[in-house]
Amino acid sequence: MTAPDDEDDDAALFRDAVGPVRRLPERVAPPMPARPRPRARMAERDEAAARDEFRLALDEQLAEAGDVLAWRQDTVPDPVYRRLRRGEISAQEELDLHGADARTAEALLRAFLADALRHGLGCVRIIHGKGGRGHADFSSSGAPVLKNLVDRMLRQRASVLAFHSAPPAQGGTGAVVVLLAPSKRR
């Protein structure tokens, strides 16, 4: 074990060997990287859960090419729904999904509905077609893919009050007219 005097001697020897020392100028620390933008994780989880539920529901009660799509929330009055069914409520915007695959159609429909809500639209038309133009238009069970995709997605949206297949002059069972909830003013 070394004595305290030996440690002082070692330190003195080191300082003599190194020589005079000057302090380096202080450098400013680099800026911290920007924090990531906050994400709506609960909304992302809800969307993922809805997508999974949607995919499971696709195997149940599939609509056929000529079937009428119809659905409404209990809060929609009968006279309003009748007007929607008859085509008396005009669509303010339209989305045509012809030729889109299911994944693309799903993304387009989500974006279209979000945009319609953002712009305060009350009624829109979605053209899904009846299927039958190609083998990809039908599922393995023979049901039209886009028609069933639109049906399931619209039923899951809180912003959709009601929908019904369009009258024959507006696309018939190859299109659906959708009544949207008024946007909430903030």
Each residue's pLDDT tens digit, 88-97: 999 999 999 9
Enumerate the β-bridge partners of residue 138. Answer: 144
For 40, the token pair is 């709506």
pLDDT of residue 36: 85
The answer to whether residue 150 scores a pLDDT higher than 80 is yes
Cβ atoms of 92 and 152 within 8 Å: the answer is no
The answer to whether residue 157 scores a pLDDT higher than 70 is yes
Helix (H) or strand (E) holding 127: strand 123-127
Q: pLDDT digits over 131-149, tens only?
A: 765 545 555 556 788 888 8
The residues spanned by each domain of the chain are: 68-180
Q: pLDDT digits over 42-53, tens only?
A: 888 877 777 666
171 phi-psi bin (left φ>0, alpha ψ -120 to 50, beta other): left
Mean pLDDT of 8-20: 86
pLDDT of residue 141: 58
The number of residues in the chain equals: 186
Cβ atoms of 169 and 106 within 8 Å: the answer is no
pLDDT of residue 76: 94
Please state which architecture CATH assigns to domain 68-180: 2-Layer Sandwich (3.30)
The CA distances from residue 91 to 35, 79, 81, 107, 175, in Å, are 43, 17, 14, 21, 12
Cβ atoms of 166 and 176 within 8 Å: the answer is yes
Cβ atoms of 166 and 172 within 8 Å: the answer is yes
The answer to whether residue 86 scores a pLDDT higher than 60 is yes
Read off the pLDDT band of 119 (50, 70, 90): very high
For 153, the token pair is 């997605």
C-alpha 88: how far from chain center? 30
